Every structure is written in structure tokens, then in C-alpha cells.
């Protein structure tokens, strides 16, 4: 039976090797591929089992035949996902190529079958075609480059990796050259005009006055071209293992980011450009979902391939969720079987545990503490809402400065005049002679101080809170004298989370708005004027994603418990315990 399974696995392995890029793009003889497949040791891994362990000294490499595995960096806290491995993927080469220990742990996401090879098999492979070794060297180098690639404003989850990241096609930049070309035509027409008036072109180019007339147009066109180029390179369409992200940055004006989880995508539409698509492979792509609406990106290269990648990653995400369900059922079955075994094994009741009186301690009641942070609050701090931990944000300090500028200026001016009147400076004799003026100045100081405190407290009390289950928007009046409005939205109602930075000045301050679209009557929560809006958006998404996963796990556990309860009752009825 084992030989039959070995033979079946080899037959599945052969086409995977035949279609692998390492063999397709090299001069490796196709007739040798079955021979190489026969050298494999077929291994089976249950879900959760480790194929290789980070830090081990191991000289094997593997080919995935079926199932899915994941490579994780266990040295990170929490462990960080590096990549997913699907049928046909080859992994474990780095330790062989660089004579190093394992750089990552690889474990099965679902039940997997892999082909294992040792160093002798690798040497045989290289002896047949040396370029295969170069191919895997390039693969490892590209992996390092992708790991070092940075996307400003993007924070990945620990269990998320980038699958594909693209920019707009070069034709999108070429389409922006209309205005620069039109500007450059002005000096060209000017030179042609000089010819018509009898001034030679050569003399026009050497005439300093004419060059001064032409140069501004050339400089202006060059600056526009440079701006358009940098703006073209600024935008990203990123596909990860959990979501699709479109980052739209308008140079010197601001940026926006829209994203949609893979599980909420309804369809992906590719709109072709006719003849342009035939020669340049440039299309528009639209990603539709019930929650976010439509994310549209124009002039994208290989949009058809991107569409397939998005749908493929969506299916893989669903498969991983199904694998989690299988693992949960398997664990419940094992627990039930262990209970049945223990039920059939007579055991003596454990003696009650006696706790010595000296070890019994009464709970302590913490004394209330006061933190004098009223006048130096943070724009981001940890808070608790009904014993639930959350993050609290206030508006940017620039918003505070803008609100208190006038009262602070009035306070400084009135205080300065009051002090000069009290110390009897000779330059301000007209202030020293009148107690009434001093009284007015004193009232002005108190009024300005109250005005300042009013604006400051109004800024301080407007907060945004995100817990593990909901979002809260508190809009309060100063000292709550005119009341307070508190809006709450559960994570179940959140449909999309985006952020915008409206202009270049706000970009310099890292100041923007976070928009949280929700279902129901109150459709939008807007966190206005927060510092580092990308991190705020990332924190909300992280907590929302954790909430969704916990909710799915809870629903799955309840369903599995019901199933196992029925199966347990059936087992008890059909296999009654023998009292002897």
C-alpha cells in the first residue's frame, strides 16, 4: 500500500516538475525529469506539523505535491509570515546554497504531501544542468529584495505577505506629456517666427536675449515632466494574502488609500483599450465589493494576470478558512476519543485539596490614582472602556495650536500690559496712574485665560476610540457645559476603512482623516485631523480583522460542538460502557 501511494505521488510530482520555471527555462533534459522524480522521498504532513524548523542544520530541499504550507519567522514576536507554499513550489534551497541553518520554519496549513531531496540529489541536479543552481540563487536574491521593499503608509499584519505589487503602465506617464509638449512648442514657434522675419536660426540660438525668452519655457516643461514622472511612480496597487490595496498619492497635494479584504470581493473586471492592449498590454481594472464599492485603477500592465491573482488569492483564503474548520473538528474528535478512553478506565476520585489558612489571601482593593496629564495629553494613548482595552486618539497638535492661537496671543498681550502697569515702567506712565485700567487688564487676563482653557478643553475632549469590538466617536463641548455626543459602531457594521491626506502641508505634518464606512443609518465615522492617519487606519484594520477571525472561530466552535455532541450521543448509545 505504501508503494502504491509512493507511485501515485511520483506520478503527480512529474507534471509539477515539468511545468516548473527552473526546468522549463533551462536546458534540463525532459527525459531526466521522471528520473529526478524517482529519487524523491515522499513524506506526508498533517496540518500543523513542521517540515523544517528554524535554526536547524539541514541539507534537504522539498517540492510541494499537494496541500499548502507556510514559511514563518519564529524569531519575530509575534511569529511573522514569510510566504505560502502551494503545489509545485520548491523550498528549502537557501540552506543548501548558502551552507547555513534554516532561516524559517515551514509547517503545513492543510494536510500536505511533499517530495524530499538531499544534498546528493541537488548535486546530481546541478551536474545535469548548472543553470538550475543559478536560477535558485536568483530566486533567493529576489526574495531578499522583496523583503526589503517598502511601501510608505502600509503596515502588514503578522500573518500577511505581499503577493504582487504593481504601478501604472509607462503609457500612463506618457499620457501626461501633452502639456509639456505644448509648452515646448511655444519657443519652437518663436524660432520659426524669427526665421520668417529674417533672423537666422543660428543667430537666434546665440542671442542671449532670445535665449532668456526661450529658457523659461524649457525649464517649465522640464519641471512639469519631472513632477508627472514622480507622481506616476507614486501610486501602488498591492495584492496581499488578505486584501487588495490601492494607494493613490498626488505629489505635493496629499494621498488616499482604499482597500478591500479578499473575502469581500465580488468580482474583478478588466476593461481593455483596444489597439493599445494588443501592443502594450495596458488595461483598466475594477475590483467590486458590496462593502467598499469599486476600486478602479486605470492603465495597469497585465491587468488580466492581476485579475487571476486576486481571484486565486481569494480562493486560497477560503481554502485556509476551510482548513481551519477541519483542524477544529479534528481536535474535537481527538478530545472526544480521549474522553471515551478515560471513561472506560476506572480512576479513584482525587482527594480534595486543602489550602492552609496561612496561604489564603484576601483580594486587595487598589487605591485610586491621579495622573496630572491634563495639560500635556498625548494624541495617542491606551485606554479602557468598560474593562475593554482600546486605543484613544485626539486631533493633531496643529489643530490645537490653530484653535488656541488667538486666545493665547490675547493672554500674552494682556498679561504683558498688566505686568508693565504693576511694575511702574516709565514708558507706560499712562497705565500706572489708573487703577481702573489695571482692573480692566486683570479682567482681560482672566478672560483670555478662560478663552484659552475653553478652546484647549474642547480639543482635549474630542476623542476617537477603537476597542477590540467597536469604534467610538466622542464629540464634546468644553467642560461638557453644552453637552456631549457619543457615537458607537460595532465591528460587525464596518464595511471599509480608508484615509486621506488632503494637501502637501498636511503631508508634511503627517496629518489626515480616517474614514470608516459602516452599514446602517450612521454610515460613516470620520476621525478628523489625526496624526499619522496610515497607522490609525492600520490599527483599526488589525483590530477589525482580529475580531472577524475570533467571530468566525467562535461560530465554528459552536457548530462543531453541536456536531460532536450528536456524534458523542450516538457513540454512547451504540457503544455502551461495560460496567465490568
Residue recorded with cell 485556509: 320
Terminal alpha carbon distance of the chain = 39
CB atoms within 10 A of CB 400: 19
Report pLDDT for 370: 42
65 and 190 share a domain?
no
Is 533 contained in some domain?
Answer: yes
Mean pLDDT of 117-135: 91
Helix ranges, 472-511 (H): 504-509
C-beta of residue 471 within 8 angstroms of C-beta of residue 486: no
The helix or strand, by DSSP H or E, that contains position 260, with its residue range, turns out to be strand 254-261
Do 200 and 143 lie in a common domain?
no
Average pLDDT over residues 16-38: 90
- Looking at residues 261-284, what average pLDDT do you find? 81
Task: For residue 557, name the pLDDT band (cuts at 50, 70, 90).
Answer: confident
Domain span holding position 407: 380-547
* Residues 119 and 57 grouped into a single domain: yes
132 plus 24 within the same structural domain: yes
Task: Summarize the confidence of residues 122-148 as an average pLDDT.
Answer: 87
- Rounded CA-CA distance 333/339 in Å is 10
Count how many domains the chain has.
3
- The C-alpha atoms of residue 75 and residue 101 are separated, in whole angstroms, by 14
Least confident range from 35-44, 356-365, 430-439: namely 356-365
Q: Are 106 and 186 in the same domain?
A: no
Exposure string (b/e) for 356-383, b if CB count within 10 Å is 16 or more? Answer: eeeeeeeeeeeeeeeeeeeeebebeeee
Element counts in the chain: helices (H) and strands (E): 17, 23
CA gap 80, 388 in Å, rounded: 26
Is 134 in the same domain as 192?
no
Q: DSSP class of residue 160? A: -
pLDDT at 156 over 80: yes
Same domain, 143 and 179: no
Tens of pLDDT along 389-419? 999 999 999 999 999 999 999 999 999 888 8
- Provide the grid cell at 518: 459602516
Cell 476610540 appears where? 465
Are 397 and 535 part of one and the same domain? yes
Phi-psi domain of 398 (left: phi exceeds 0; alpha: psi -120 through 50; beta: other):
alpha
Structure-model confidence comparison of residues 561 and 553, the more confident one: 553
Please tell me the pTM assigned to this model: 0.73
Using an 8 Å Cβ cutoff, are 111 and 105 in contact?
no
Nearest CA among 407, 347, 335 for reference residue 557:
335
- The mean predicted confidence, pLDDT, of the chain is 82
What are the strands of the beta sheet with 484-490, ordered from one edge? Answer: 380-385, 388-394, 463-467, 470-476, 484-490
pLDDT at 579: 47
**Residue 120: exposure state from Cβ atoms within 10 A (0-12, 13-18, ≥19):** exposed
Edge to edge, the sheet with strand 293-301 lists 265-272, 282-289, 293-301
Decide if 335 is inside a domain: no
Place of cell 497705565: 431
- Structure confidence by residue, pLDDT tens digits, 320-346: 888 877 777 777 677 666 665 555 555
What is the rounded CA–CA span in Å between residue 65 and residue 17? Answer: 10
Q: Does the residue 578 lie in any domain?
A: no
Confidence at residue 580, expressed as pLDDT on a 0 to 100 scale: 45
Is residue 445 assigned to a domain?
yes
CATH code (residue 93): 2.60.120.10
Is pLDDT above 60 for 441? yes
pLDDT band with cut points at 50, 70 and 90 for residue 364:
very low
Any residues with CB less than 8 A from the CB of 579 and at least 6 apart, and which? none
Domain end call among 148, 183, 215:
148
If one compares 61 and 195, the residue with the highest pLDDT of the two is 61
Residue 502 CB-density burial (10 A; 0-12 exposed, 13-18 middle, 19+ buried): middle
Calculate mean pLDDT across residues 246-253.
82
Which residues, at least 6 apart from 340, have a Cβ–Cβ distance to it below 8 Å? 571, 575
Indicate whether 416 belongs to any domain.
Answer: yes
Q: Are residue 126 and residue 184 in the same domain, yes or no?
A: no
CATH classification of the domain holding 489: 2.30.29
Q: Is residue 466 part of a domain?
A: yes
* Residue 506 resides in a domain: yes
Instruction: Report whether pLDDT(463) > 90.
Output: yes
* Residue 26: per-residue pLDDT: 83
pLDDT-based confidence at 43, cuts 50/70/90? very high
Is residue 285 within 8 Å of 238, Cβ to Cβ? no
Q: How much is the pLDDT for 521?
A: 53
Average pLDDT over residues 542-553: 85
234/247 Cα distance (integer angstroms)? 8
Asked whether residue 265 carries a pLDDT value surpassing 50, the answer given is yes
Amino acid at each position: 500500500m505504501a508503494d502504491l501511494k509512493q507511485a501515485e505521488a511520483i506520478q503527480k510530482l512529474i507534471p509539477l516538475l515539468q511545468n516548473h520555471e527552473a526546468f522549463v527555462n533551462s536546458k534540463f533534459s525532459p527525459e531526466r525529469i521522471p528520473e529526478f522524480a524517482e529519487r524523491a522521498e515522499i513524506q506526508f504532513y498533517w496540518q500543523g506539523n513542521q517540515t523544517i524548523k528554524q535554526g536547524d542544520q539541514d541539507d534537504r530541499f522539498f517540492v510541494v505535491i499537494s496541500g499548502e504550507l507556510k514559511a514563518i519567522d519564529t524569531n519575530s514576536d509575534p511569529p511573522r509570515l514569510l510566504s505560502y507554499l502551494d503545489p509545485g513550489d520548491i523550498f528549502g534551497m537557501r540552506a543548501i546554497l548558502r551552507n547555513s541553518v534554516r532561516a524559517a520554519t515551514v509547517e503545513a496549513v492543510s494536510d500536505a504531501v511533499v517530495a524530499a531531496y538531499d544534498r546528493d540529489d541537488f548535486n546530481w541536479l546541478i551536474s545535469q544542468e548548472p543553470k538550475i543552481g543559478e536560477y535558485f540563487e536568483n530566486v533567493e536574491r529576489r526574495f531578499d529584495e522583496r523583503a526589503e521593499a517598502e511601501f510608505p503608509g502600509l503596515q502588514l499584519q503578522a500573518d500577511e505577505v505581499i503577493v504582487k505589487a504593481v504601478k501604472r503602465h509607462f503609457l500612463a506617464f506618457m499620457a501626461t506629456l501633452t502639456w509639456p509638449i505644448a509648452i515646448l512648442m511655444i519657443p519652437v514657434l518663436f524660432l520659426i517666427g524669427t526665421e520668417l522675419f529674417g533672423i537666422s536660426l543660428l543667430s537666434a540660438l546665440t542671442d542671449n536675449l532670445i535665449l532668456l525668452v526661450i529658457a523659461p519655457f524649457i525649464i517649465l516643461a522640464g519641471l512639469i515632466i519631472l513632477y508627472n514622472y514622480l507622481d506616476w511612480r507614486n501610486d501602488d496597487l498591492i495584492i496581499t494574502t488578505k486584501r487588495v490595496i490601492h494607494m493613490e498619492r498626488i505629489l505635493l497635494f496629499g494621498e488616499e488609500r482604499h482597500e478591500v479584504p479578499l473575502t469581500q470581493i465580488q468580482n474583478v473586471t478588466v476593461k481593455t483599450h483596444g489597439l493599445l492592449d494588443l501592443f502594450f498590454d495596458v488595461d483598466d481594472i475594477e475590483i467590486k465589493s458590496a462593502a467598499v464599492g469599486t476600486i478602479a485603477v486605470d492603465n495597469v500592465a497585465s491587468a488580466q494576470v492581476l485579475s487571476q491573482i486576486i481571484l486565486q488569492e481569494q480562493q486560497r483564503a477560503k481554502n485556509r478558512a476551510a482548513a481551519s474548520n477541519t483542524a477544529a473538528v479534528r481536535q474535537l474528535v481527538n478530545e472526544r476519543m480521549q474522553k471515551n478512553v478515560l471513561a472506560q478506565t476506572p480512576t479513584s476520585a482525587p482527594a480534595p485539596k486543602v489550602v492552609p489558612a496561612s496561604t489564603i489571601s484576601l483580594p486587595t482593593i487598589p487605591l485610586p490614582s491621579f495622573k496630572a496629564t491634563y495639560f500635556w495629553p498625548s494624541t495617542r494613548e491606551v485606554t479602557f472602556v468598560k474593562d475593554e482595552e482600546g486605543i484613544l486618539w485626539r486631533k493633531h497638535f496643529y489643530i490645537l495650536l490653530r484653535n488656541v492661537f488667538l486666545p493665547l496671543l490675547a493672554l500674552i498681550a494682556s498679561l504683558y500690559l498688566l505686568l508693565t502697569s504693576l511694575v511702574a515702567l516709565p514708558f507706560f506712565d499712562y497705565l500706572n496712574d489708573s487703577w481702573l485700567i489695571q482692573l480692566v487688564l486683570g479682567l482681560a487676563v482672566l478672560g483670555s485665560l478662560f478663552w484659552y482653557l475653553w478652546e484647549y478643553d474642547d480639543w482635549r475632549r474630542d476623542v476617537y476610540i477603537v476597542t477590540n469590538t467597536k469604534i467610538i466617536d466622542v464629540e464634546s463641548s468644553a467642560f461638557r457645559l453644552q453637552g456631549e455626543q457619543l457615537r458607537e459602531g460595532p465591528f460587525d457594521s464596518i464595511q471599509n476603512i480608508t484615509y486621506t491626506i488632503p494637501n502637501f502641508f498636511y503631508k508634511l505634518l503627517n496629518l489626515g482623516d480616517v474614514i470608516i464606512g459602516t452599514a446602517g443609518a450612521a454610515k460613516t465615522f470620520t476621525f478628523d485631523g489625526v496624526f499619522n492617519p496610515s497607522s490609525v487606519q492600520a490599527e483599526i484594520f488589525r483590530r477589525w480583522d482580529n475580531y472577524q477571525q475570533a467571530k468566525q472561530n467562535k461560530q465554528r466552535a459552536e457548530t462543531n460542538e453541536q456536531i460532536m455532541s450528536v456524534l458523542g450521543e450516538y457513540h454512547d448509545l451504540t457503544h455502551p460502557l461495560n460496567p465490568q
